[in-house]
Structure 1
Amino acid sequence: MGGVCSRKRDQQVDEDGVQIQVSGRYGKSGSSKWLRTSFSRPVMDCQLGRESCPPSLMELCIHKICEDIDRYTKFSMLPRDISQQIFDKFVDSHCLTSASLEAFRDCAIQDVNLGEYPEVNDRWMDIISSQGLSLLSVDLSGSSITDDGLSLLKDCSNIQALSFNYCDQISEPGLKNISGLSNLTSLSFKKSNTVTAEGMRAFSSLVNLVKLDLERCSQIHGGLIHLKGLTKLESLNIRYCKCITDSDLKALSGLTSLKELQMSCSNITDIGISYLKGLCKLMLLDVEGCHVTTSCLDSLSALVALSYLNLNRCGLSDFGCEKFSGLKNLKVLNMGFNNITDACLVHLKGLKNLKVLNMGFNNITDACLVHLKGLTNLESLNLDSCSIGDEGLANLTGLSLLKCLELSDTKVGSDGLCHLSGLTKLESLNLSFTLVTDSGLKKLCGLTSLKSLNLDARQITDAGLAAITSLTGLTHLDLFGARISDAGTNCLRHFKNLQTLEICGGGLTDAGVKNIKGLASLTLLNLSQNCNLTDKTLEMISGLTALVSLNVSNSRITNNGLQHLKPLKNLLSLSLESCKVTASEIRKLQSTALPNLVSFRPE
């Protein structure tokens, strides 16, 4: 079915812990929500008109230069910061070509952020490397750079951050050119199958390296031995490297500066974890999907700084759970998708510093929630798909700092929502696939801090939507499957701050969309499965110029209606599956009016 969604979002990874800035404007990301790490220096965003204040004279000048770029052949006479802003403007607007790049030769640019930029190859490297000692940050992820191109950077010895994610044409000889870049602090080679254990020998001289990302590198077994001398290394990502085994971790035992270690979905066992005992500064450990048991908690208890621990999908059982009590400094604990029962939670009650607890998809019942009463610092609690009902929610009343509560696929009903009325700091609440009805939603009226509310349920109707109109701060409202009619959409006018709205599988017609067209802050709109919507709907939402994602699949939209989408210049994703729309017409629209559209269906 076109555009429909399996509504169990993010089952694969449900982590609400640390979130660190993602690098790369065009970068792919294989990292989970739980932790993302930046591997590039921040690059200034100089797109004209982005700010709420009027553009400065400098911005106007840069904009004019970019408009008249054919008149200029060289920018090296300009101050470096001006050249940098012009360069960034070209990249942001997707206007940089191999021809226009020539104007930036010898400009002393500091940051070259071309991650996932099309057609970047070795010919570009001559000009990139001409920045010489000024060059500090280079991201060429997803490019066609080869060993020859990489060799041109060897004289740019001041480079601090280098990213070659998804570059599969770089081999061992090319990596040798990195060995002399001793000022490197960040290096990333995600999903680069050409990075081998022998190739990693080039990393051994990078004595100032702080962050290293080798996620999804499948040939690095035995290569971690070359990291032994990198005593400043603080962050290492080897997630999804199935080749990594316990023996590899011996090489990490002396890296006493290590603070973050991600190795989910590798072949690590309790034995491998035992090699980490001496890493007294380790704050974050991700072993999701590894073959560890609760026996590893003996080794982890020696990690006095450990604050973030991801044990999702490890097949943990209750046996040995008493050892959790030794992890006193934990702030984030993820134990979703295991075989944990009520017997385990009694050993968590002493973890007073916990802020995030994920127990989703375990055999947890109401009886165990009494042990959460003392965790008064909790800000996020995930009980997705546990056997929790109304009675268990009574134990949450004292968690006054709670901001995020996940109750999807539980037995919670309308009566239990009264226990949430005092959680006035709650910002995100997921009640999808629960037993909550319209009458229960009235009990949420006092949760005025709510920004995100998920109500995927057939039993929610217009009356339920009317009951929550006091929640004017909502930015995300998901009513997938709810029985909302045209009349019910009148209530949406109260939610002026909405950024995402999903009303799928209801009975909306064009008349109901009239009440949506005024929600100017919307960036995501999903109206799929409303089979009576016509081209008139596209005409009415044509003023929602902030839209980035639009889904009106399984409707009566035709090719004639596509013209109404022309004003939506920010649109990145468009789904019109099972409509009377052809891929060729969408491509025409993309080429003439929607240059930022990168994903569309039908393709």
Structure 2
Amino acid sequence: MGGICSRKREQQVIEDGVRSGVCGRYSKSGSSKWLGASLPRQVADFQPGGSCPTLMDLCIHKIREDIEKYGSFSMLPRDISQQIFNDLVFSHFLTDASFEAFRDCALQDVLLGEYPGVKDSWMKVVSSQGTSLLSVDLSDSDVTDTGLGLLKDCSNLQAMILNHCDHISERGLKHVSGLTNLTSLSFKKCNAVTAEGMRAFSSLVNLEKLDLEGVPGFMVDLFILKASICFKLVFIALTFFFAPPGLMKLESLNIRCCKCITDLDMKALSGLTSLKELQVSNSNITDLGVSYLRGLQKLIMLNLEGCNVTTRCLDSISALVALAYLNLNRCGLSDDGWDKFSGLKNLKVLSLGFNNITDACLVHLKGLTNLESLNLDSCQIGDEGLANLTDLPLKSLELSDTDVGSNGLRHLSGLTHLEDLNLSFTLVTDSGLKKLSELTSLRSLNLDARQITDAGLAALTKLTGLIHLDLFGARISDAGTNSLLYFKNLQCLEICGGGLTDAGVKNIKDLAHLTVLNLSQNCSLTDKTLELISGLAELVSLNVSNSLITNEGLRYLKPLKNLRSLSLESCKVTASEIKKLQLTALPNLVSFRPEH
């Protein structure tokens, strides 16, 4: 079964550290913000003038083109079969017939998360990988208990992801109990995980990560999991009462969005002295529950977002001197109780967004000498409050939806380490942007505001290191895009709802490193725009919705081989023509609108 593998297994594959077969769940919105910080690998560029592909790239590309000619890859070395398989999944070329060709190939990773059409018949091929199989992702599939049972002979499985698998019941979970080498198991939002179903996990003595986030609420005694389970790194999102004796090595616990979690559960956690990360956001924890955490002196990260706490909980939190990451967003906090926070000398990230705090609160943050990230989104912060931040080593500052105006930006001019600044929906105008010209470390700037015009953009031309520039709603004209030529390193650009025409796009076409371009709501853009940007070979996401683009203009997108997301809503474009473009020229396109 399969040839000898010519590569070494570098590390176990777990959900958070590996790209699933279909690169996660794409947002249905027209915004490109879903891309996040990291992008999937780029495929080889076979265009003239592109980087030279390797011989393996060329071979795999040819196999993909002629995939219907191959009945089996089992005679190939395992790593070659694996690369072919990964490419077919990544490119959405895997079908019932082509999947059959991978029977008995000794694949190590079968990552089919959210891939369409995965069902029990596919599991026969998956299970044929036998003891070579180390990780499998079947999220959002139609696999049932029967299909899951076929994995019983894959005894070396280390990671299994079955998120959103609605056709698996608690009977199916019994098939998991024999896979004792599992170290990572995820059943996010899976209805199969009941109190009875949890008993299947009791034999998984090597389990390090268990993710049950969003599982329907029910009561479970953690003694079901037995004291023999040695949890080194566990993420649990489940409604239950804690029984800690068997979890004394627990370092990370995630019970987000569990409304049944109460203060009594926090009392049970108080004995888990090895705990370093705790997420209990959007639960019913109150100040009393937080007080039970005072003994967790190794706690580095605490997420209480959306909990029913008041400023009285700050006394308990200030005792957690090892804290480096603290999230108190949406807790309804006021200005009281912050005077003890100066003792949290290790704090690096602090999120206080959507609270009732004012400038008076910021006075007590001056002592946080290691603070690198501060979120004040939608707080009642004004210009004078920013004076308390001048000596902090901030790298990221979120001021969206505050009362900060142009005058307040003078306090930010000395934040020379600042890399990420969000001023969206503030009172900042063009004149204020001149005060940001000395922030030469700035990499990301968000200026969603109608009062920003061409003059404001021109004031930023010293910020040549910008990688992300969001001008959503700004009144940028064709003439204003001349200033964009200073930002040669831009990877993400959003100019939506402005007055751009094709003439303005002529300056954008020279931003060769763009991976994300959002020009939606510029109603005068035509097919000429697509012709102008056809040379932006690194583009991964493109949005030109609400414009005059037609089916005729789609031909200009053919050179954009890295394109994975395309939005042309409210244009004179049909889904059938985009689909045709996908099949003939853009094999990596996995998300497009219109869809129908």
TM above 0.5, yes or no, is yes
Q: 1:567 aligns with which of 559, 563, 569?
A: 559
Paired with 2:578 and 2:85, the residues of 1 have a C-alpha distance of: 31
Offset, 1:288: 0.9
8 Å CA contact 1:126–1:152 kept in 2: the answer is yes
Residues 22 and 307 of structure 1, relative CA distance in 2, 3 Å threshold = farther
State the percentage of identical aligned residues: 65
Q: Deviations over 1:484-543 (max 9, x none)?
A: 111110000111111211112222111111111111222222222222222222221222
Paired with 1:59 and 1:558, the residues of 2 have a C-alpha distance of: 34
8 Å CA contact 1:575–1:602 kept in 2: the answer is no
Q: Deviations over 1:87-108 (max 9, x none)?
A: 2233223223232233322222
Q: 1:209 aligns with which of 198, 207, 211?
A: 207
Alignment of 1:158-197 (within 5 A): 158-197=156-195
Does residue 250 of structure 1 match 2:242?
yes
8 Å CA contact 1:345–1:371 kept in 2: the answer is yes
Residues 224 and 373 of structure 1, relative CA distance in 2, 3 Å threshold = same
8 Å CA contact 2:383–2:404 kept in 1: the answer is yes
Task: Tell me the secondary structure at the aligned position of residue 449 of structure 1.
Answer: coil
Offset, 1:209: 0.3
Paired with 2:591 and 2:528, the residues of 1 have a C-alpha distance of: 24
Q: 2:491 aligns with which of 492, 495, 499?
A: 499
Residues 592 and 102 of structure 1, relative CA distance in 2, 3 Å threshold = closer
Report how many aligned residue pairs link the two structures.
565
Paired with 1:27 and 1:493, the residues of 2 have a C-alpha distance of: 32
Alignment of 1:366-515 (within 5 A): 366-400=359-393, 402-515=394-507
- The amino acid of 2:22's aligned partner reads Y
Partner of residue 90, structure 2: 92
Residues 164 and 508 of structure 1, relative CA distance in 2, 3 Å threshold = same
8 Å CA contact 2:293–2:316 kept in 1: the answer is no
Partner of residue 200, structure 1: 198
Partner of residue 117, structure 1: 115
8 Å CA contact 1:207–1:232 kept in 2: the answer is yes
Residues 573 and 74 of structure 1, relative CA distance in 2, 3 Å threshold = closer
Partner of residue 225, structure 2: 227
Does residue 279 of structure 1 match 2:275?
no
Residues 415 and 433 of structure 1, relative CA distance in 2, 3 Å threshold = same
> Which of 532-541 and 494-503 deviates more?
532-541
8 Å CA contact 1:217–1:238 kept in 2: the answer is no
Alignment of 1:95-110 (within 5 A): 95-110=93-108
Residues 533 and 68 of structure 1, relative CA distance in 2, 3 Å threshold = closer
Offset, 1:291: 1.0
Partner of residue 7, structure 2: none
Residues 227 and 337 of structure 1, relative CA distance in 2, 3 Å threshold = same
Residues 418 and 283 of structure 1, relative CA distance in 2, 3 Å threshold = same
Offset, 1:470: 1.1
Paired with 1:249 and 1:578, the residues of 2 have a C-alpha distance of: 50
- The amino acid of 1:116's aligned partner reads E
8 Å CA contact 1:577–1:602 kept in 2: the answer is no
> Which of 449-458 and 519-528 deviates more?
519-528
Offset, 1:149: 1.4
Q: Deviations over 1:350-383 (max 9, x none)?
A: 1010000011111111122121111111110011
Partner of residue 10, structure 1: none
8 Å CA contact 1:46–1:85 kept in 2: the answer is no
Partner of residue 333, structure 1: 326
- The amino acid of 2:209's aligned partner reads K
- The amino acid of 1:363's aligned partner reads N
Partner of residue 593, structure 2: 600
Offset, 1:319: 2.7
Residues 416 and 291 of structure 1, relative CA distance in 2, 3 Å threshold = same
Partner of residue 289, structure 1: 282
Paired with 2:204 and 2:118, the residues of 1 have a C-alpha distance of: 26
Residues 223 and 194 of structure 1, relative CA distance in 2, 3 Å threshold = farther
Task: Tell me the secondary structure at the aligned position of residue 172 of structure 2.
Answer: helix
Paired with 1:578 and 1:46, the residues of 2 have a C-alpha distance of: 29
8 Å CA contact 2:223–2:246 kept in 1: the answer is no
Partner of residue 551, structure 1: 543
> Which of 131-140 and 272-281 deviates more?
131-140
Task: Tell me the secondary structure at the aligned position of residue 296 of structure 1.
Answer: helix
Q: 2:305 aligns with which of 299, 304, 312?
A: 312
Does residue 348 of structure 1 match 2:341?
yes
Offset, 1:45: 6.5
- The amino acid of 2:158's aligned partner reads Q
Offset, 1:560: 3.0
Q: Deviations over 1:309-351 (max 9, x none)?
A: 1111113222342222211111011101122111132221110
TM-score (norm 2): 0.89
Residues 69 and 23 of structure 1, relative CA distance in 2, 3 Å threshold = closer
Task: Tell me the secondary structure at the aligned position of residue 386 of structure 2.
Answer: helix
Paired with 1:486 and 1:290, the residues of 2 have a C-alpha distance of: 49
Task: Tell me the secondary structure at the aligned position of residue 566 of structure 2.
Answer: strand
> Which of 185-194 and 221-230 deviates more?
221-230
Q: Deviations over 1:223-256 (max 9, x none)?
A: 64422335322344444x5xx1xxx223345311
Paired with 2:389 and 2:301, the residues of 1 have a C-alpha distance of: 23
> Which of 348-357 and 478-487 deviates more?
478-487
8 Å CA contact 2:575–2:594 kept in 1: the answer is yes
**Unpaired stretches in structure 2, ≥5 consecutive residues:** 1-14, 28-39
Paired with 2:458 and 2:512, the residues of 1 have a C-alpha distance of: 21
Paired with 1:79 and 1:561, the residues of 2 have a C-alpha distance of: 44
Paired with 2:138 and 2:460, the residues of 1 have a C-alpha distance of: 47
Paired with 1:90 and 1:587, the residues of 2 have a C-alpha distance of: 18
Residues 491 and 396 of structure 1, relative CA distance in 2, 3 Å threshold = same
Q: 2:17 aligns with which of 21, 27, 30?
A: 21
8 Å CA contact 1:486–1:507 kept in 2: the answer is yes
Paired with 1:180 and 1:83, the residues of 2 have a C-alpha distance of: 28
8 Å CA contact 2:158–2:181 kept in 1: the answer is yes
Paired with 2:42 and 2:572, the residues of 1 have a C-alpha distance of: 40
- The amino acid of 1:571's aligned partner reads L
Does residue 519 of structure 1 match 2:517?
no
> Which of 219-228 and 470-479 deviates more?
219-228
- The amino acid of 2:193's aligned partner reads V
8 Å CA contact 1:318–1:343 kept in 2: the answer is yes
Does residue 75 of structure 1 match 2:73?
yes
Task: Tell me the secondary structure at the aligned position of residue 154 of structure 1.
Answer: helix
Paired with 1:296 and 1:536, the residues of 2 have a C-alpha distance of: 60
TM-score (norm 1): 0.88
Task: Tell me the secondary structure at the aligned position of residue 474 of structure 1.
Answer: coil
> Which of 187-196 and 273-282 deviates more?
187-196
Paired with 1:62 and 1:338, the residues of 2 have a C-alpha distance of: 52
8 Å CA contact 1:528–1:551 kept in 2: the answer is yes
Residues 580 and 438 of structure 1, relative CA distance in 2, 3 Å threshold = same
Task: Tell me the secondary structure at the aligned position of residue 246 of structure 2.
Answer: coil
**Unpaired stretches in structure 1, ≥5 consecutive residues:** 1-18, 32-43
